[in-house]
Amino acid sequence: MRTRTSMRVAAAVAVGGLALAACGGPVKMGAAATTGQQRISTATLTSEVANLNAAYQANAKKGVKPQRPAAQAPQQVLTWLLTFRIYDELARLHGISVTPTAVHNQLTELSTQAQQQKLTTRTYVSAAGAVPPDLLPQLGRYFAILTAFEVRLDGGTQPAGQAAQQALQNRIAHAQCLAAKNLDITVNPQFGQFDYASYSVIPATSKLAAAASPSPKPSSKPKLAPPC
């Protein structure tokens, strides 16, 4: 039987469905994004994208290709950087603390997932999830917080039945939304904007381009404001 952690790791890394949020104020100079009074600098984002691209080059020598568009690395990396802050805020709001042992256990589980694919952990997270390998400690903390929060909500027993599982996921998604909303996240339009429908960073809409020629309708309409 797969553990709660292994299922969560597989879903978040391989699929990348991460809950994010974005709100409106101006972005501080030199910032790729801001969360409250703090910022993620463009220098930090540039450095982490370079780290991811270096991993892609190393992976290519092993015959491993990225599962996500390499050209979208800035949006993907910024998504992770903001996700880590959102979960730190969720932990703060709900009084959750995670130990180094809990983080280590999550990284061990992640390593097991990688070994099943005959990959190193660094190759696995970069190729499958577009995670810069030097952010592995933050990734482990993210999983540890999420697991602790799930256990708090369901008492340590995974809900039986699809309806109960969906109800749990809805509660987690609502908490994520509130945490992100509390951070008042703003993204520099140079790097895109947040879409609450897909929980991902998407390119900023060009009003000029939209006026010049209508584009095909997206499969789902973006949600650019917190739905909570």
Report if residue 27 sits inside a domain.
Answer: yes
Task: Give the dihedral sign, CA 192/68/121/116.
Answer: positive
Q: Is the pLDDT of residue 72 over 50?
A: yes
At residue 10 the predicted structure's pLDDT band, cuts being 50, 70 and 90, is low
Residue 178 C-beta-side C-alpha neighbours within 13 Å: 11
Report if residue 220 sits inside a domain.
Answer: no
Report if residue 188 sits inside a domain.
Answer: yes
At residue 220 the predicted structure's pLDDT band, cuts being 50, 70 and 90, is low
Report if residue 228 sits inside a domain.
Answer: no
What would the pLDDT profile of 28-70 be if each residue is shown by its tens digit?
A: 668 999 888 889 999 999 999 999 999 999 999 999 999 998 9
More confident residue, 170 or 223: 170
Q: Which domain holds residue 174?
A: 4-212
In this prediction the pTM is 0.82
More confident residue, 98 or 27: 98
Report if residue 223 sits inside a domain.
Answer: no
Q: Is the pLDDT of residue 19 over 70?
A: no
What would the pLDDT profile of 111-153 be if each residue is shown by its tens digit?
A: 999 999 999 999 999 999 999 999 999 999 999 999 999 999 9
Number of H helices, E strands in the chain: 8, 5
Report if residue 186 sits inside a domain.
Answer: yes
Per-residue model confidence (pLDDT) at position 107: 97
Count up the domains in the chain and report the number.
1
DSSP 19: -
Q: Is the pLDDT of residue 159 over 50?
A: yes
Q: What mean pLDDT is reported for the chain?
A: 83
- What does R_g of the chain's alpha carbons equal in angstroms? 18
Report if residue 141 sits inside a domain.
Answer: yes
Q: Which of 85, 47, 21, 14 minimizes the C-alpha distance to 225?
A: 21
Per-residue model confidence (pLDDT) at position 37: 83
Report if residue 45 sits inside a domain.
Answer: yes
